[in-house]
Structure 1
Amino acid sequence: MKIVYRYILKELIQPFLFGVFAFTSIFVGSDVLISLAKLMMEYGLPIITTVKLFFLSLPQIVVWTFPMSMLLASLLAFGRLSGDSEITALKAGGVSFMRLVIPVLVVALLISGLTIWLNDTLVPKSTNLYEEIVWKMKHGETKPKTQQNLRIAPVDSATGKLDFVLTASKFDGETQTLNEVTLQNYEDGKLVNIIQAEKAKWLDSKWVFMNGVSYTITKEGRVPQTKFTKMNMKNRLNRDPEQISRRQKEPEEMSLKELGKHIELLEQEGQNVKKLKVTYHQRYSIPFACFIFALVGAPLGLQPNRSGSSIGLGLSIIVIFIYYTMMTVGSALGQSGNLTPWLGAWLQNIIFMIVGIGLLYKTQRF
């Protein structure tokens, strides 16, 4: 069986690499080159910078093509084996089709894992660097790390009531400083303390309020005040500069850990995070399409008149279109709340997996 497995994998690798190259070329020609050409005409983008942006855009595109390429490879590989009656010969030798599919599914699962890893490491970094370069080209400076009129008001997860309200006239990400800052602390939804300061700096992993006044609201309604030069806020303000900054990256520029933390913080502030949750789960579900497409593509490749490469390419485009249509519908349902976000992100995979298992069962019987 090892010889048969190696033979099948050899048949799979070539169309997979061809698919990556072909689909990448389509994306590059229809999107990337047009965008870069516009930047060159509008902003005089230098050739060296253009080449750099081109290569920075490739990681995202390549990982998009992995599921598509796996589908094409499965269709062409098994279509060729079927068309040359090699599948029939293997069955006559006592080798079931299910055993022939196993190495393909294993490889597809490994490619899914690779895609998830690339989506969590290389893609966010390259996308972020791409956006930084484009921003600097358009505005003549690096992206600002300041925010005016900052306000953060998280809700206590235990009580469901307001935890604190932080406001500042300005947040400077470079110096990690809040200017004209006010912190209102709540207990069980009631205001118990107000701290106002000229500024607050992030020092030694904690916020230090400087030159301010603290007002404590007692049960009797009194408001005694205490002036201070410095006040340690380690146990009162549990947000670091990265979490406080409203200059957040776009979801595609974040790793899974960063995106998960971002969702958690926004959820604490009572914001609608359904869209971000769908995006988070899609970071797993879309790469897993490599496995799903292999599950569907292998039995489809055995159908009559599927041995031609042009027919296999056409069929793969149809399947991909149906898949991404379902993904769009599932995503919309997840974002609107009609489905839970994880189900909205995985809906197309669940449907295609059921179809793939059905096709495998049907093929195994005949």
Structure 2
Amino acid sequence: MKIVEYLFRKVIPLFLGALVFFGLVLVMVDLMMNLWNFISNGVPGLKVLRIMALYIPKCLWYATPIAILFAVSYTLSDLYANNELIAIFASGISLTRFTFPLLVFAFGMSFALFFFDDKVVVPTYAKKTAEQEEALKKDKSLNNDKIVILSENGNITYKAEFYDDTAKRLTGLYLIIRNEDKTLSSIIRADSASWREDKWILSGGIQYTQKDGTISVGSVTKESMERLTEPPETFQNNVISVETVDSKTAKVYIEHLQKAGLPFAEPLSLYYKKFAFPFILFIVVFLSVGLSGKTRKNVMLMSLASCISAAVLFYVTQMVTMLLAKFGAISPFMGAWFPVFMFVVIATVVLRYART
């Protein structure tokens, strides 16, 4: 237990220091990128500070993998350089056994990072974005035009010229209703439609119904009216980014896309990424254990270089697999999780040939 305590007494301060440093760098980069916009729009200093404060959780989330990789890599390399591990290995304790508490710590931190993102990062980053857009006078309209929406698994198609979000009103509306076997049932044309409680009320609606090869024209039937329950939010100009909402909201959004028959591969891969990305903490610690001790010179420089290289390699790999998932070359699950599986294998191989 003394050895474990000694190990964590060296790792934790370095981890916290690196976390603050890398987090501060990310905050300053964002501030520098938006500073001229803040100045030109006359945003008060306190408002800018509040916006930057709301960005801190996101920066800490980004910085955590690099910080823990640096802390573990530097600590182990320093122990090698000072010959402290020689005594540990001579006493019969292997590198794997010595660093096992760090791996357990990183595995637990991976779960903590997921919940930190879901409960803290997502809401604070949403507030930061909203307040920054408000301060920079970037108004976002929820009105939409040239809309095509699929509902009831593609059995109902809404086509509208314009959606007014304030009035909850569709204009220039066409509805194509199909049977369960996807054959055409009827077409409805309406001048407009207004949302009332739980369904759309049509104005100037005419229904063209096909039955037994003949087409009849008449008023919109009550049965058809009862099926027009697609909520107004579906028609808004507010495509949700799965990365900017919590996992529960993301799941509901993806279920809506599946129900509407819309493409969902990219959002689903981003949803899986929410669960896969936090395990980068476990991976980088695993890697740093295997990479440590490669040199006794320039320990800090080599540790910093190795942690940045490993992080960049992981991010690039995940970017490529996410693109492949987006275009359907691989499944959304593999798009998010393949880099994790691949780097676990790489870390295992590196550890196998590490100095002990």
Q: Does 1:152 align with 2:149?
A: yes
How far has the Cα of 1:37 moved from its partner? 0.6
Q: Does 1:190 align with 2:188?
A: no
Residues 210-231 of structure 1 show CA distances to partners (whole Å, capped at 9, x for unaligned) of 5554634333524253468x88
Secondary structure at 1:280 match in 2: helix
CA spacing shift, 1:352–1:212, aligned 2, 3 Å: same
Secondary structure at 2:163 match in 1: strand
User: C-alpha separation between the residues in 2 aligned to 1:318 and 1:353?
Assistant: 16
Q: Does 1:283 align with 2:274?
A: yes
Moved more, 291-300 or 52-61: 52-61
How far has the Cα of 1:66 moved from its partner? 1.0
Match of 1:96 in 2: 94
Aligned residue identity for 1:24: G
Aligned residue identity for 2:182: G
Match of 1:4 in 2: 3
Match of 2:195 in 1: 201
User: C-alpha separation between the residues in 1 aligned to 2:303 and 2:335?
Assistant: 29
Q: Does 1:240 align with 2:238?
A: no
Match of 2:59 among 58, 61, 82: 61
CA spacing shift, 1:106–1:233, aligned 2, 3 Å: farther
Over aligned residues, Cα RMSD in angstroms?
3.0
How far has the Cα of 1:155 moved from its partner? 7.4
Secondary structure at 2:211 match in 1: coil
User: C-alpha separation between the residues in 2 aligned to 1:191 and 1:8?
Assistant: 70
Residues 260-305 of structure 1 show CA distances to partners (whole Å, capped at 9, x for unaligned) of 3333434555554443333333223322110000001123223331
Aligned residue identity for 2:115: W
CA spacing shift, 1:246–1:265, aligned 2, 3 Å: farther
CA spacing shift, 1:306–1:231, aligned 2, 3 Å: farther
Match of 1:73 in 2: 71
Match of 1:133 in 2: 131
Query: Contact 1:281 / 1:342 at 8 angstroms: preserved in 2?
Result: yes
How far has the Cα of 1:82 moved from its partner? 2.5
User: C-alpha separation between the residues in 2 aligned to 1:61 and 1:109?
Assistant: 21
User: C-alpha separation between the residues in 1 aligned to 2:279 and 2:205?
Assistant: 55
Residues 329-363 of structure 1 show CA distances to partners (whole Å, capped at 9, x for unaligned) of 33333333333333233333233211211222234
Query: Contact 1:178 / 1:200 at 8 angstroms: preserved in 2?
Result: yes
Aligned residue identity for 1:293: V
User: C-alpha separation between the residues in 2 aligned to 1:359 and 1:16?
Assistant: 23
CA spacing shift, 1:330–1:211, aligned 2, 3 Å: closer
Match of 2:218 in 1: 225
CA spacing shift, 1:258–1:174, aligned 2, 3 Å: farther
How far has the Cα of 1:32 moved from its partner? 0.8
Query: Contact 2:15 / 2:68 at 8 angstroms: preserved in 1?
Result: yes
Q: Does 1:163 align with 2:155?
A: yes
User: C-alpha separation between the residues in 2 aligned to 1:62 and 1:12?
Assistant: 18
Query: Contact 1:56 / 1:126 at 8 angstroms: preserved in 2?
Result: yes
Unpaired segments ≥5 residues, structure 2 = none
Match of 2:349 among 355, 358, 363: 358
Query: Contact 2:151 / 2:261 at 8 angstroms: preserved in 1?
Result: yes
TM-score, normalised with respect to structure 2: 0.85
Query: Contact 1:301 / 1:307 at 8 angstroms: preserved in 2?
Result: no
What fraction of aligned residue pairs are identical, expressed as a percent? 20
Secondary structure at 1:223 match in 2: strand
CA spacing shift, 1:42–1:266, aligned 2, 3 Å: farther
Secondary structure at 1:338 match in 2: coil
How far has the Cα of 1:195 moved from its partner? 4.6
How far has the Cα of 1:38 moved from its partner? 2.1
Query: Contact 2:200 / 2:229 at 8 angstroms: preserved in 1?
Result: no
Q: Name the count of aligned residue pairs.
A: 353
Query: Contact 1:289 / 1:349 at 8 angstroms: preserved in 2?
Result: yes
Query: Contact 1:209 / 1:232 at 8 angstroms: preserved in 2?
Result: no
User: C-alpha separation between the residues in 1 aligned to 2:275 and 2:297?
Assistant: 31
Unpaired segments ≥5 residues, structure 1 = 157-161
CA spacing shift, 1:328–1:306, aligned 2, 3 Å: farther
Match of 1:320 among 308, 311, 314: 311
Aligned residue identity for 2:148: R
Match of 2:329 in 1: 338
How far has the Cα of 1:180 moved from its partner? 5.5
Match of 1:159 in 2: none
TM-score, normalised with respect to structure 1: 0.83
Match of 1:117 among 92, 115, 118: 115
